[in-house]
Structures are given as C-alpha cells and as structure tokens.
C-alpha cells in the first residue's frame, strides 16, 4: 500500500506535547494514527531572506514523517497573512466587506503554491496518495500536475464555501474553481458547503467535485483526557476560584468569525435581564491571539478589551467578577478538564467550517451530570449537533435566553440531549472522517487533468 501524503499550511510541531490552537492540526493529528504518512507544510518559522527554494526539515515520529519548510517574511506576509487570511478567510466566512483585495498578494499566493509543489515533488513516489488541505493551498494540486504528478490528489476545505454570488466578489474567483479540476475529489465540511461549491462549478461549466465529509475528533481519547485532567491542579484551582458559581465556558481563537463581541453582549444581556444569575455564574472566555498582524484581528482585540472592561465595570462585586477573559492559549489537555467542569459551553460563531470545540465539549462530559451546549446555527457542527440549544449568534437576546435556559435546565433534559449529541460525536470521528474521504478518493473517477 502506498503512503498517504498530507499537505497543509499549518503542521503541528511533531515533538510538542501540546498542539497549536487550531482545529485543522488537531483533527488531522487525531486521524493519522494508522499507515505510513508524510506530512508536508510550513514550519511556522519566517526567515528574512532565502536564496532559491527551501530544503524541507525532516523529522520522523511514529508512523508519520514531518517535512516542513520555512517561509520568507515577504512570503509569509503576501501568502499567509494578506491573501489567505486577509482575502480568502473573510470572503469564505461571508464577510466580503472585510476582504482587502490586492493583485500583488494573489501573485505571492500563486508563487508560494508553486514553491510548495517544487519542494514537495522530489519527496513523492508514484504510488502515493496526496491529500491537500485548506484555502491556503487551492492551486497546489494543479501546480503538482504541471510538474507531472499523476498520483491521486484529493483536497479538503476546512472553512465554509459560500454561495457563488458571494464568492465571485473575488476578482478572478473562477481561477479558484479551475484549481479544483486538478483534484480527483474535493471534500467540504457540510452538505450546504458541497451544494454551494457544486453549484459554483456548474455555473462555470466545470465538473462537480464536492462531497461533504464532516471532520471529527477522537472522542474516546478526549474523554479519557478530560477524566485525567479533572485530577490536575489547574482544574482544582479553577473550581476553587469559582466558589460555587456556575461556569459558562467559551474557547475560540481570537477571530472575528467566532462571534465574540456578540457573545459578550449576550452574556451582558443575561446579567441585565435575568438578575438572579448575578454573582452565581462566571463566564470564562479562552481566546488565544491568532493572526495578530492582520488589522481586523487587532481591532477585534481592542473591542473585546473594551467590552470586558465595560461589563465587568458595570456588574462586578468586590467578591465576584462576571467575565474572565484570557488571550493566551491553554493546552488542550488542560482544556479537556475545563470542558468537563463547565456547566455550559457557549459556542456562537457567526460562521465556522466545523468547530471542533463543540465536539470536544460533548466528549468531555460526565454522563451522570452533563453540561449544556449552546451552539450557533452557523457552525459547521450544527447540522450534526442539533440536540444542542441552537441560537442565532447575531441575536444577543436569544443568547441571553439560551443561557438562562441552560443554567436552569434539569438533569434529565441535560442527559437526554447529551446522549443524542454524544452518539453523533462518536459516529463521525477523526479516523472515520479520514477513512471515508480516502475511500471516496480511491473510488473517484480519475480527474481529467491527471
Ligand atoms: O493556522 P492558523 O492560521 O493559526 O489557524 C488555525 C486553523 O484555523 C482554521 O480551522 C478550520 O479547521 C477546523 C478543522 O476542520 C474547523 O473545525 C474550523 O471550523 C476551521 O476554522 C483553518 O481552516 C485552518 O487552516 C487553520 O490551521
Ligand atoms: O487555548 C486553546 C484554544 C483552542 N485549542 C484547541 O484548538 C482547536 C480549535 O479548533 P476549532 O475547530 O474549534 O476552531 P479553529 O481554531 O480551527 O477555527 C480545538 O481542538 C481546541 O481544543 C487549544 O488547544 N487551546
């Protein structure tokens, strides 16, 4: 059997116990438990300059060989920061108004994709299967085909695919659709994303490629981790500090797609409209800084600093603070225990490809006394997790009502909802996601360009 070649911009540091805060690396690492694999991508490092293409650094851990390359500062700025995260990210999260289009950045995006192809090419064998991940690398398949690569190549988009009427706001959006033609199969997170992408392809007279494969986690391992973490000092410190107050938990990269200002205002509305919860609930928001050089992310940080100050200033007592807001990452191992302790998880993205935190929260619960998941309709996880308390994240009063409902929900209802949710989280795991995609890729008609 040939090797599986994974290519993604973000690759977790192979020897670090804690993974970076980001679902792609988490989901893939959970999925890569079997077979011989090579994982190729960015090292996470920038260097001022480079003469020629980089040489991949190779590191083997278990069944996975990691091959990572550095980017120059100019490549990092044009490819990752500006084009991927300043143009594609807002557009694909339905925020066309936040897109800062520049032709120069598109050129750098294409040039880095071509460089990825040239550096990966010598590491490939004819019987490999290549699986490319996410919006940073749309053109990589075609760039590999141009270098004569004939292996099966699949692509998975971790973020939403909006309707074509929106995507076409990107000048030259048709080129992204042409990129899809180099792939034998394109996976997306939800049936809605698949319908949008296939419709865009049809509208442009191109062959349909997309199928939905919702990504998951390793729920058994995560539950065990949550049980272990409950015995750790961090969980005891958190529990002691709450002094009997209920815990509402949010965990998200500090990203405008996650609906954090609306969420803070929803919590504020709870304190205002349901005063019985004052002093009896604490909202802990973990929001590690992400893509901090992109202007919109900086502005969001200022906005949250201000909102936290305002809400805490208005409602704090000398012995109670309503919001705790942390912008440093917390290791996933410790988070597992925090999830288990939390009475409510408040997950209200305005748009999200999947949102693995929602699945982790369910996996971490104590079946005898589970907490309540409040989830946005617009998370990719919502169609699977429809026994959660679903909310429109733009409606702060609906968030307040959902919080009140969750904080007063009786154990039998919590258990009924959790049982249904846990079944879903165990049905599509990281391993089944990868197996389903790879099986479909294996059976897909060989694409025209190969
Ligand atoms: O690599 P970064 O720029 O630091 O960002 C972290 C990752 O964010 C996005 O994650 C997405 O993938 C998750 C797993 O499928 C999904 O649950 C989530 O909804 C998505 O937003 C991004 O797509 C990744 O490429 C980044 O690595
Ligand atoms: O401080 C943090 C915050 C988040 N995460 C992890 O980062 C991932 C976030 O993935 P998700 O799909 O929810 O969103 P993304 O960040 O990929 O958009 C989850 O596994 C979290 O447990 C973490 O380890 N530490």
The model's pTM: 0.97
What is the spatial distance between Cα 25 and Cα 158, in angstroms, rounded to a whole number? 11
Site to probe by mutation for ligand 1, drawn from 6, 24, 380 as the one with most ligand atoms within 8 Å of Cβ, is 24
At 14, phi and psi to the nearest 5? -60, -35
Instruction: Give me the half-sphere count of Cα atoms (radius 13 Å) on the Cβ side of residue 187.
Output: 24
- pLDDT tens for each residue of 252-294: 999 999 999 999 999 999 999 999 999 999 999 999 999 999 9
3-state helix, strand, coil in the chain (%, to 5): 45, 20, 35
Residues with CB under 6 A from ligand 2: 21-24, 26, 251, 253, 286, 288, 329-330, 332, 335, 354-357, 360
DSSP label of 254: B
Identify the helix (H) or strand (E) that includes residue 217: none
Residue-wise DSSP of 27-66: HHHHHTTSS-EEEEEEEEEEES--SSSPPPEEEEETTEEE
Percent of the chain exceeding pLDDT 70 equals 98
How many whole angstroms separate alpha carbon 421 and alpha carbon 386? 8
Q: Do 4-212 and 219-427 show the same overall fold?
A: yes
Residue 365 Cα to ligand 2 midpoint, Å, equals 17
Distance CA 259, CA 22 (A): 16
Q: Is the pLDDT of residue 182 over 60?
A: yes
Q: Sheet harboring 281-286: ordered strands across?
A: 323-326, 281-286, 246-251, 344-347, 372-376, 389-391
Q: Are 50 and 72 spatial neighbours (Cβ–Cβ below 8 Å)? A: yes
Confidence category of residue 24, pLDDT binned at 50, 70, 90: confident
Residues with CB under 6 A from ligand 1: 10, 22-24, 27, 134, 158-159, 215, 290-291, 352-356, 380
pLDDT tens-place string over residues 344-386: 999 999 999 999 999 999 999 999 999 999 999 999 999 999 9
Q: What does the pLDDT read at residue 359?
A: 98
CA of 238 to the centre of ligand 1 (A): 28
Q: How far lies 366's CA from each of 347, 394, 412, 419, 441, in Å?
A: 19, 31, 13, 11, 37
Confidence of residue 21 (pLDDT cuts 50, 70, 90): low
Examine the residue annotation and report whether 158 is marked as an active-site residue of this protein.
yes
Residue 181 has pLDDT above 70, yes or no: yes
Q: Stretch 408-415: mean pLDDT, rounded?
A: 98
Q: Does the pLDDT at position 201 exceed 70?
A: yes
* CA proximity to 57, closest of 75, 39, 81, 72: 39
pLDDT over threshold 80, residue 33: no
Position 17 scores a pLDDT of: 47
Return the SS3 of 371.
Answer: coil
Instruction: Name the band, by pLDDT with cuts 50, 70 and 90, for residue 31.
Output: confident
User: According to the 3-state scheme, what is the secondary structure of 137-201?
Assistant: HCCHHHHHHHCCCCCEEEEECCCCCCCHHHHCCCCCHHHHHHHHCCCCEEEECCHHHHHHHHHHH
Q: State how far the Cα of 401 lies from the Cα of 85, in Å rounded to an integer.
A: 34
| Cα 33 to ligand 2 centre (Å) | 20
Task: Assess whether pLDDT exceeds 80 at residue 447.
Answer: no
Domain boundaries, the chain: 4-212, 219-427
| 199 carries an active-site annotation | no
Q: Which atom of ligand 1 is nearest to the CA of 349?
A: 19
Q: Which two tokens stand for residue 172?
A: 């030259």
Say if residues 372 and 343 touch (Cβ distance below 8 Å): yes
Q: Which CATH number fits domain 219-427: 3.50.50.60, 3.30.450.20, 1.10.1740.10, 3.40.50.2000?
A: 3.40.50.2000
Q: Over 70: is that where the pLDDT of 230 sits?
A: yes
The active-site residue, picked from 76, 133, 136, 158, is 158
Indicate the CATH number of 4-212 among 3.40.50.720, 3.40.50.300, 3.40.50.2000, 3.50.50.60.
Answer: 3.40.50.2000
User: Which pLDDT tens digit goes with each residue over 232-249?
Assistant: 999 999 999 999 999 999
The predicted structure's pLDDT at residue 193: 98
Are 370 and 356 in contact, with CB atoms under 8 Å apart? no
Q: Is the pLDDT assigned to residue 22 strictly greater than 90?
A: no
Q: Looking at 105, 255, 352, 401, which residue is catalytic?
A: 352
User: From the CA of 107, how far away is ligand 2's center (Å)?
Assistant: 30
Q: Among the residues of 379-429, which ranges form H helices?
A: 396-407, 411-427
Which of 8, 19, 23 maximizes ligand 1 atoms within 8 Å of its Cβ, making it the mutation to test the pocket? 23
Taking residues 173-200, report their average pLDDT.
97
Q: Which atom of ligand 2 is the closest one to the Cα of 332?
A: 24
Q: How many residues does the chain have?
A: 450
Contacts of 66 (CB under 8 A, 6+ apart): 11, 14, 38, 39, 58, 59, 60
């Amino acid at each position: 059997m040939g090797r599986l070649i994974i290519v993604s911009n973000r690759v977790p540091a192979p020897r670090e116990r804690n993974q970076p805060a980001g679902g792609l690396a988490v989901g893939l690492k959970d999925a890569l438990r079997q077979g011989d694999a090579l994982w190729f991508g960015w090292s996470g490092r920038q260097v001022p300059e480079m003469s020629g293409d980089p040489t991949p650094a190779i590191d083997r851990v278990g069944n996975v060989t990691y091959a990572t390359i550095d980017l120059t500062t100019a490549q990092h700025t044009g490819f990752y920061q500006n084009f991927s995260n300043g143009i594609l990210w807002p557009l694909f999260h339905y925020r066309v108004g936040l897109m800062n289009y520049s032709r120069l950045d598109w050129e750098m995006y294409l040039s880095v994709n071509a460089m990825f192809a040239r550096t990966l090419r010598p590491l490939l064998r004819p019987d490999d299967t290549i699986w490319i991940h996410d919006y940073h690398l749309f053109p990589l398949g075609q760039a590999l085909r141009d270098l004569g690569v004939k292996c099966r190549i699949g692509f998975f988009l971790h973020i939403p695919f909006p309707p074509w009427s929106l995507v076409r706001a990107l000048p030259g959006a048709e080129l992204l659709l042409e990129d899809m033609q180099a792939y034998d199969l394109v996976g997306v997170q939800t049936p809605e994303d698949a319908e949008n992408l296939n419709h865009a392809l049809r509208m442009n007279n191109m062959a349909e490629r997309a199928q939905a494969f919702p990504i998951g986690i390793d729920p058994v391992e995560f539950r065990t981790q949550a049980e272990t973490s409950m015995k750790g000092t961090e969980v005891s410190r958190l529990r002691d500090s709450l002094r009997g107050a209920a815990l509402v938990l949010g965990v998200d990269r500090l990203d405008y797609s996650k609906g954090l200002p609306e969420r803070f205002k929803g919590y504020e509305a709870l304190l205002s409209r349901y005063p019985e919860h004052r002093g009896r609930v604490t909202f802990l928001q973990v929001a590690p800084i992400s893509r901090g050089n992109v202007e919109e992310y900086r502005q969001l940080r200022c906005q949250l600093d201000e909102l936290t100050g305002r809400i805490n200033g208005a409602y704090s007592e000398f012995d109670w603070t309503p919001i705790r807001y942390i912008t440093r990452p917390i290791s996933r191992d410790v988070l597992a225990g925090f999830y288990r302790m939390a009475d409510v998880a408040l997950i209200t993205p305005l748009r999200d490809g999947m949102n693995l935190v929602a699945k982790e929260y369910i996996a971490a619960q104590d079946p005898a006394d589970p907490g309540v998941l409040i989830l946005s309709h617009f998370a990719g996880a919502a169609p699977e997790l429809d026994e959660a308390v679903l909310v429109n994240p733009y409606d702060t009063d609906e968030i307040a009502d959902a919080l009140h409902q969750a904080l007063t929900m009786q154990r039998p209802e919590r258990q009924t909802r959790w049982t249904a949710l846990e079944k879903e989280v165990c049905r599509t795991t990281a391993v089944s996601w990868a197996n389903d995609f790879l099986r479909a890729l294996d059976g897909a008609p060989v694409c025209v360009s190969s």
